[in-house]
């Protein structure tokens, strides 16, 4: 992976680079799988942020104020000009917040979870340890995390264990446990948390998530299976009341 190229991928993705630099990066990406994966990750993140943002209709009072300020005036007025500039700045600032920030902390985490799920499927990095044996997967996390994730093979319940890996969510390293459900893949992200929270559902970009906290663990299950399957999985793992 070239640090020189990686530093310019955001500008390349937004088409902000000059033609010569852009052409050089395009040529490099064709020969460098690592940089290509990084571009795919950035593109997925950009898409998730755009689709996860909410938009709002301006209040009638603000729309009327803007309409009044933008009507043609017979005389130039510095007071009107300054008022218009102030209103425009407020509208612009609000637009930036609306477009670039997810609606809530829950929505922001859902965006991260779905992006990590998609990335694990696209980058062929679904597992760091591949095994259906919980006694192989669970010890693999020893020394890599400061907590012990709940690893259980649920093949008898229709959720065979496929393996696990380390991932990164919310600014810290988490355990990602991978389960199968018929021909689908479920990523279950877990990390320590205080207190219990009942399960909640968030659907984003066609992917379903179920999340909550139980027995000192925060969990997020994500897949393209239905939410009932996800709820069943976390219940069988003892992360949610049956």
CA–CA distance, 230 with 84 (Å, rounded to integer): 51
Identify the band that residue 155 occupies on the pLDDT scale cut at 50, 70 and 90: very high
Which pLDDT belongs to residue 82? Answer: 54
- Sheet with 197-204, side-by-side order of all strands: 129-130, 161-169, 172-181, 184-192, 217-223, 207-214, 197-204
Mean pLDDT on 75-80: 53
Express as a percent the part of the chain with pLDDT over 70.
75
Identify the band that residue 72 occupies on the pLDDT scale cut at 50, 70 and 90: low
- CATH no., domain 105-236: 3.30.200.100
Q: What are the structural domain ranges in the chain? A: 3-52, 60-100, 105-236
Q: How high does pLDDT run on average in the chain?
A: 80
Q: Is the pLDDT of residue 230 over 90?
A: yes
More confident: 82 or 239? 239
Q: Is the pLDDT of residue 113 over 50?
A: yes
More confident: 45 or 199? 199
Beta pairing class for 197-204 and 129-130: unpaired
Which pLDDT belongs to residue 221? Answer: 94
pTM of the predicted structure, to 2 decimals: 0.58
Query: Residue with structure tokens 């218009």?
Result: 84
φ, ψ for residue 189, nearest 5 deg = -95, 130
Q: Which residues of 121-155 are buried (b: 16+ CB within 10 A; e: fewer)?
A: eeeeebbbbebeebebbbebbeeebeeebbbbbbe
Q: Is the pLDDT of residue 184 over 70?
A: yes
């Amino acid at each position: 992976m070239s640090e020189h190229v990686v530093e310019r991928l955001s500008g390349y993705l937004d088409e902000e680079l000059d033609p010569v630099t852009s052409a050089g990066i395009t040529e490099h990406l064709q020969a460098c799988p690592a940089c290509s994966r990084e571009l795919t990750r950035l593109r997925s993140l950009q898409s998730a942020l755009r689709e996860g943002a909410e938009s709002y209709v301006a209040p009638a009072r603000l729309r009327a104020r803007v309409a009044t300020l933008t009507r043609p005036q017979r005389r130039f007025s510095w007071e009107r000009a300054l008022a218009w500039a102030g209103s425009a700045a407020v509208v612009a600032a609000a637009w930036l917040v609306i477009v670039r920030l997810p609606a809530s902390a829950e929505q922001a985490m859902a965006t991260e979870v779905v992006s990590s799920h998609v990335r694990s499927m696209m980058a062929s990095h679904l597992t760091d340890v591949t095994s259906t044996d919980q006694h192989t997967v669970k010890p693999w996390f020893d020394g890599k995390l400061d907590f012990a994730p709940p690893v259980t093979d649920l093949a008898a319940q229709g959720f065979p264990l496929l393996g696990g890996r380390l991932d990164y969510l919310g600014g810290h390293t988490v355990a990602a446990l991978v389960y199968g459900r018929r021909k689908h893949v479920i990523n279950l992200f877990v990390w320590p948390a205080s207190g219990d929270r009942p399960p909640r559902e968030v659907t984003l970009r066609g992917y379903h998530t179920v999340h909550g906290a139980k027995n000192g663990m925060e969990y997020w299950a994500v897949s393209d299976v239905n939410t009932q399957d996800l709820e069943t999985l976390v219940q069988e793992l003892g992360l949610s009341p049956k």
